[in-house]
């Protein structure tokens, strides 16, 4: 958490009875606390001075009442009633100045204050009430100003984050850090768009939302702060989304509400300009899938959190799929929202539950699908891959000449296997960059490429590639025709010369000549199985070592 922020929200939120007694005005009166000593941390909203018996009817609650006692009455019954009505009104404290009316406070007054839990203070010396009022009011105003300053600092950080290229998720994280509680953005209908911040003991915010908000929208927990994010243009009064602050780790203080209202103004501008609701929801799903892949969500907790996001596969086998875009692609202008919507529309006809997320920073689109049976894995993979590629085209996310997106399909399994399946598919999609284009790759058939990718920074891998095919790379830099494509096609067809010649559009003798030249340059026999294995590995590894 940023050290500039105090998540308790108490600093700058007002003044307590204890603080009021420490100010010079009341301190000069030698105050003595006769009742409610354990409640001196009550907040003082305002100061009022008065001497009438029915003064409680003039108060709203939270006041510190100054009096010389002329309105208390002379009978114990009147004095008890006076204190009880003040306590019922909810004033912060009663301060009585000793003097002509009372040289000491009556026992009935003190006993009733103690029973009611009302702080009761007697002043042994005369003080000018106007001075006390000015001092406390100044302190209150300064406190509110400090509170507003802290909320404005949050607003400033949110604005800077957006101007720096951050999005709605970063705004919510700033607000969550400041409040010390998870923060949620919902649609006006109550559908969760995004969650930020953790609950107690790093509880996932989706669990918090499901338990405290998702099932209790009509009666949210006490202390919940709901702030509307306006939309639809000025003066329409429409609500585009809603910020929700749940009092999970700490109470939601007034400063947190003010900060949320400032953040809502920022979010309104972003949502109106960029229409980010769909992208934000897709990012939220992408965060869940990323956390699941990283093992940050336990298998037993995942189904409930997935239900919050609308994914209800029941006991079906779960199929992990990951699409990775070409490196260096950073689409904007709502392209990720268009992609998510286009893919969702295409997959609606597949007839299986789908949870689709986006991870713009990594350029990935992770999915989980609920299969009716593992036998339909291949057919569903074909439909999903086609939908993903169509979504990329519709969103304009493939530059001319750029490599096509890579779609990797993992192994179907239970929730317990989904974490490793998503992680495997995501890593395999990265390792598959540069392979010959296929509609989709089976993650199990990419294990060798994945292993080589993981060794990409190891100097021994580069040395191995150089030993195995270095002479061919040197030849192809200097001479024509290049021989590496011939070797790669020959190995891809498992040494079948007729098929190799057909694919390369060569006659048999030309192919034989090229293979003989390759064997001569490498000083090896292309019919030797160990040689073929080493050359195949080297050709795969060269993509990762430049």
Backbone phi and psi for residue 88, each to the nearest 5 degrees, phi listed first:
-65, -35
CATH dotted code for 29-126? 3.40.1390.20
Q: How far apart are CA 434 and CA 545, in angstroms?
A: 12
Q: Which residues make Cβ contacts (< 8 Å) with residue 349, sequence separation at least 6?
A: none
- CATH code, 281-454: 3.30.70
Token pair in block for residue 539: 């050709």
Degrees to nearest 5, angle at CA 108 with 104 and 110: 60
Distances (CA, A) of 278 to 86, 274, 337, 341, 355: 53, 10, 5, 8, 14
* Structure confidence at residue 5 (pLDDT): 37
DSSP 457-482: T-HHHHHHHHHHHHHHHHHHHHSSS-
Query: What number of CA atoms fall less than 13 Å from residue 433's CA on the CB side?
Result: 19
Which residues sit opposite 132 in a β-bridge? none
Answer whether 121's CB lies under 8 Å from 94's CB: yes
The structural domains of the chain, with segments of one domain joined by +, span 29-126, 148-274, 281-454, 459-541
Residue 443's pLDDT is 95
The architecture of the domain spanning 459-541 is Orthogonal Bundle (1.10)
Instruction: Please list, residue by residue across 127-142, b when 16 or more beta carbons sit within 10 angstroms of its beta carbon and e when fewer do.
Output: bebeebbebbeebbee
Instruction: Report pLDDT for 6.
Output: 37
Whether 173 contacts 268, CB under 8 Å: no
Sheet holding 238-245, edge to edge: 192-196, 183-187, 238-245, 225-231
The fold of 148-274 is Beta-Lactamase (3.30.450)
Tokens of 541: 């590894």
Q: Whole-angstrom Cα distance, residue 343 to residue 345?
A: 5
pLDDT per residue as tens, the chain (546 positions): 333 333 333 344 468 899 999 999 999 999 999 999 999 999 888 898 988 888 888 888 889 999 998 888 889 999 999 999 999 999 999 999 999 889 999 999 999 999 999 999 999 999 999 989 998 888 887 777 777 777 788 888 888 877 776 677 888 888 888 888 888 888 877 778 888 876 666 666 677 777 666 656 667 777 788 888 887 544 445 777 888 888 887 788 788 888 888 888 888 877 765 556 677 788 889 999 999 999 988 899 899 888 888 898 988 899 999 999 987 655 555 788 888 888 888 888 788 899 999 998 888 999 999 998 889 999 999 999 999 998 888 888 877 777 889 999 999 999 999 999 999 999 999 999 888 889 999 999 999 999 999 998 899 999 999 999 999 999 989 988 999 999 999 998 888 999 999 999 999 999 999 999 999 999 988 988 999 999 999 998 988 886
CA 363 – CA 53 distance, rounded (Å) = 72
- Report DSSP state, residue 446: G
């Amino acid at each position: 958490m940023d050290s500039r922020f105090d998540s308790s929200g108490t600093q700058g939120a007002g003044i307590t009875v204890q603080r009021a007694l420490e100010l010079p005005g009341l301190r000069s009166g030698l105050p003595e606390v006769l009742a409610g000593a354990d409640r001196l941390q009550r907040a003082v909203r305002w100061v009022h001075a008065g001497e009438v018996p029915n003064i409680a009817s003039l108060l709203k609650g939270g006041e510190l009442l100054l009096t010389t006692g002329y309105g208390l009455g002379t009978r114990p019954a009147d004095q008890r009633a006076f204190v009880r009505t003040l306590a019922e009104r909810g004033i912060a404290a009663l301060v009585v100045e000793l003097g002509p009316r009372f040289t000491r406070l009556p026992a009935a007054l003190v006993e009733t204050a103690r029973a009611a839990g009302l702080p009761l203070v007697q002043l042994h010396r005369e003080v000018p009430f106007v001075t006390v009022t000015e001092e406390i009011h100044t302190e209150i105003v300064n406190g509110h100003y400090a509170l507003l300053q802290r909320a404005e600092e949050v607003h400033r950080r949110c604005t800077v984050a957006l101007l720096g290229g951050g999005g709605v998720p970063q705004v919510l994280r700033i607000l969550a850090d400041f409040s010390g509680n998870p923060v949620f953005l919902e649609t006006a209908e109550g559908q969760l768009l995004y969650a930020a911040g953790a609950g107690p003991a790093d509880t996932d915010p989706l669990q918090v939302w499901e338990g405290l908000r998702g099932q209790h929208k009509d009666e949210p927990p006490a202390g919940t702060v709901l702030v509307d994010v306006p939309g639809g243009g000025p003066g329409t009064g429409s609500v585009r989304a809603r910020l929700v602050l749940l009092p999970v780790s700490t109470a939601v203080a007034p400063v947190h509400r003010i900060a949320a209202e400032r953040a809502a103004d920022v979010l309104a501008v972003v949502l109106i300009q960029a229409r980010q609701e769909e992208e934000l929801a897709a990012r939220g799903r992408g965060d869940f899938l990323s956390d699941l892949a990283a093992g940050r969500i336990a298998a037993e907790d995942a189904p409930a959190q997935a239900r919050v996001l609308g994914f209800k596969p029941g006991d079906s086998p779960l199929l992990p799929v990951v699409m990775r875009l070409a490196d260096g692609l950073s689409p904007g202008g709502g392209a990720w929202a268009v992609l998510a919507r286009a893919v969702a529309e295409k997959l609606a006809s597949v007839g299986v539950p789908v949870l689709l997320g986006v991870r713009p920073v990594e350029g990935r689109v992770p999915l989980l699908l609920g299969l009716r049976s593992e036998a339909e894995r291949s057919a569903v993979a074909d439909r999903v891959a086609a939908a993903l590629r169509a979504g990329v085209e519709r969103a304009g996310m493939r530059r001319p000449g750029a490599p096509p997106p890579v779609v990797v399909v993992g192994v179907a399994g239970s929730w317990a296997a989904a974490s490793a399946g998503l992680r495997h598919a995501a890593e395999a999609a990265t390792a598959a960059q540069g392979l010959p284009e296929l509609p989709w790759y089976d993650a199990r058939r990419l294990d060798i490429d994945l292993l080589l990718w993981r060794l990409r920074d190891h100097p021994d891998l580069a040395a191995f590639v150089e030993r195995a095919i270095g002479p061919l790379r040197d030849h192809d830099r200097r001479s024509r025709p290049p021989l590496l494509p011939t070797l790669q096609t020959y190995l891809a067809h498992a040494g079948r010369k007729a098929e190799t010649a057909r694919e390369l559009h060569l006659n048999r003798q030309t192919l034989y000549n090229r293979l003989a030249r390759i064997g001569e340059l490498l000083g090896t026999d292309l019919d030797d199985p160990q040689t073929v294995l080493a050359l195949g590995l080297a050709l795969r590894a060269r993509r990762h070592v430049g």
